[in-house]
Chains A and B, each alone.
Chain A
Amino acid sequence: MDYMSIIVIILAVLLILAAFFVIRSKDLVAAVVASAVVSLISSIYFYILQAPDVALTEAAIGVALTTIFFMITIRKTRRDEE
C-alpha cells in the first residue's frame, strides 16, 4: 500500500462522511458547507485521476458558484430544517 492510495482512502472516508452530514444536518448552512467539501474532494479526485480540466471546472463551479447559489437561497428563505 503506497502513500497515494492511503490518501485516496482517507479522502473517500471524508467524502462519505461529508455526504452523510449533508443529509443528516439540521442546519442548512452546515449542510451546504459539507456539500462544498464533497465538491472539493471530488475536485481533488479528478486531479489525482489525471483530469485537470475537470478538476478546474469542479473547483470553480462546484465548490464556489454552486455553494454561493445555495447560500443566497438560504439567506432568502430560512436556515433551519423544520
Chain B
Amino acid sequence: MRKILAVFFIGVFGYYMLAILMDFPFGIDHLNPGLAGAYLKDTVSKTGAVNVVTSIIVNYRGFDTLGEVTVLFLAATGMSALLYDGKTMNRSRQNASVIVKAGSRLLFPLIIILGAYVFIHGHLTPGGGFQGGAIIASGFLLMFISYRNYHVSHRILSNVESTAGSVFVVLGLLGLLYGATFLENIMPLGIPNKLFSGGLIPLIYIAVGFKVGAELTALLDTMLKTVK
C-alpha cells in the first residue's frame, strides 16, 4: 500500500519535473548578462582571481561560504556532542600489513602537500579550501587505517578549527574596518595568474582549507574512536 502510494506520488512528481525541464533545452546560451555575464566579464579585473568559481565562492558570495564553513563546524560539534560519553575509546582494529604501513608513511606527506597545494592555488586552478581540506582529511584517514595507535590530538584539531574560523570572520571584519563592507577585498589585487593575486581570496581559502581539514579529520576520528 505504502509502495503504491509512493510510486504514484513519484510518478506525478517526475512527470511534472520532466515537463518543466523540457521547456529548458540543454546546452543553450542562457546567461543572465546582469549576473553570470558580469561575473565572467569582471572577475579578473575586479577581484584579481582567474578562477571565476573561486571568486564567486570566496568573494561575491563569500557570506555563503562563511555559512557553509559554519555548517561543517556544526556537523563536527553536533557529532562529538552526540557521541560523547565521558571517556575516549581506542580504535580497536588490527594493524595493517607492513607494506600498507610503509606505503602510507610514504604517501601521507605527499597527500598533505597535495591538499595544501590545492587550497593555496584555489584562485588559479580548480580546487580550493574545501577540496584541499577534504584531501588532507583523507591523508589522515589513511594513517588511521594503517596504524592502530596513530593519534591526532583533538586539542590541536579544535584549536586549528577555532583559529581558522576566527581568521575568516576577522578578515571579514577587517574589510568593515578598513573598507566599507564586511568581507570587502581590502588587499591589493595583484597580477592575475600569479600566486600572490586576488587580494583576500587566497588568505580566506587557506583559512577555509585548514578549518575543513581539521573538521573532517575530527569527524573521522570521532567516528572511528567509538567503534566497539
Contacts and interface: CB of A to CB of B under 8 A. Distances in A.
A68 B138 CA distance: 10
Contact of B138 (A51, A55, A60): A60
Nearest to A51: B53
Nearest to B133: A60
Q: Is the interface of B mostly helix, strand, loop or mixed?
A: helix
Nearest to A76: B227
3 A-B pairs closest in CB distance: A60-B134, A52-B126, A56-B131
A36 to B, nearest CB: 13
A53 B134 contact: no
13 contacts: A53-B51, A53-B53, A53-B127, A53-B131, A55-B126, A57-B130, A57-B131, A60-B135, A60-B138, A65-B134, A65-B138, A69-B220, A72-B220
Nearest to B93: A75
Interface residues of B, number: 22
B43 to A, nearest CB: 14
Interface string B115-159: 000100000001110110011011001000000000000000000
Interface of A: 51-57, 60-61, 64-65, 68-69, 72-73, 75-76
Q: Is the interface of A mostly helix, strand, loop or mixed?
A: helix
B227 A53 contact: no
B167 interface: no
Interface of B: 51, 53-54, 118, 126-128, 130-131, 134-135, 137-138, 141, 216, 219-220, 223-224, 226-228
A43 to B, nearest CB: 12
Given A65-B138, A69-B220, 18 more contacts: A51-B53, A54-B53, A56-B118, A56-B127, A56-B131, A57-B130, A60-B131, A60-B134, A60-B135, A64-B141, A65-B137, A65-B220, A68-B141, A69-B219, A72-B220, A72-B223, A72-B224, A76-B227
Contacts of B227: 72, 75-76
Contact of A57 (B51, B134, B137, B226): B134
Contacts of A53: 51, 53-54, 126-128, 131
Contacts of A64: 134, 138, 141
A77 to B, nearest CB: 10
A39 to B, nearest CB: 13
A54, A61, A75, most chain B CB atoms within 10 A = A61
B131 A76 contact: no
Contacts of B141: 64-65, 68
Contacts of A57: 130-131, 134
B165 to A, nearest CB: 19
A57 B224 CA distance: 23
A55 B130 CA distance: 12
